A and B are shown apart, each in its own frame.
Chain A
Amino acid sequence: DSGVTQTPKHLITATGQRVTLRCSPRSGDLSVYWYQQSLDQGLQFLIQYYNGEERAKGNILERFSAQQFPDLHSELNLSSLELGDSALYFCASSVVGSEQFFGPGTRLTVL
């Protein structure tokens, strides 16, 4: 158990819908990262937050957004969903500059 929790574990929705994925980092970790893992794209970095502020951006679509709240939990919002958004979404947390600890992931299926 990494100490990072993600909810829900599975999510099934339809094209065009909007979903919110939630992540709680390890106690004391200020940085939260979001990744997408799909068969064709592999594991891709989406975005990083540090203590509530956006720190780095990767291959995140404009339809996707994230935020980190004062209690340090983070949410990833995915809107106007397409079939190709079906993937595993991982959250990770770290003390800045050190190794990242990953949550168990949320499996999103878009039908």
Chain B
Amino acid sequence: GEDVEQSLFLSVREGDSSVINCTYTDSSSTYLYWYKQEPGAGLQLLTYIFSNMDMKQDQRLTVLLNKKDKHLSLRIADTQTGDSAIYFCAEHTDKLIFGTGTRLQVFP
């Protein structure tokens, strides 16, 4: 079956790193995505990783993929208050299956 899980909340201090975790079940996923949703807004694609990659870095964002454990993580370096939002991971098989979302709160 298809199931993508995330922890619901994460709270970090400004300037620290944030790590948002995600587990998925479908090993046939081709891409895995991270989306950001700010209050009252749509989903913004942050980054994605091909399923045959282990890591991808894009400025402050680092994505790690452990395909054996079906575990995906998003690390945000030097977290800012503007990073406060809900972060969704999603796996792509024949369609996108979204996780439950992790609400990141950044405090000064």
Contacts and interface: CB of A to CB of B under 8 A. Distances in A.
A48 B94 CA distance: 10
Interface stretch (B15-23, B43-51, B61-69, B77-85): B43-51
Contact of A103 (B42, B45, B94): B42
A99 B45 contact: yes
B94 to A, nearest CB: 6
B33 A48 contact: no
Contact of A33 (B88, B96, B100): B96
Interface residues of B, number: 19
15 contacts: A2-B42, A4-B42, A33-B95, A33-B96, A42-B101, A56-B94, A58-B95, A90-B42, A90-B43, A92-B43, A99-B33, A99-B45, A102-B35, A103-B42, A104-B41
Interface of A: 2, 4, 33, 35, 42-45, 48, 56, 58, 90, 92, 97, 99-105
Given A99-B33, A105-B41, 10 more contacts: A42-B99, A43-B98, A43-B101, A45-B95, A45-B97, A48-B95, A56-B94, A97-B30, A102-B45, A104-B42
Interface of B: 30-31, 33, 35, 41-45, 48, 88, 94-101
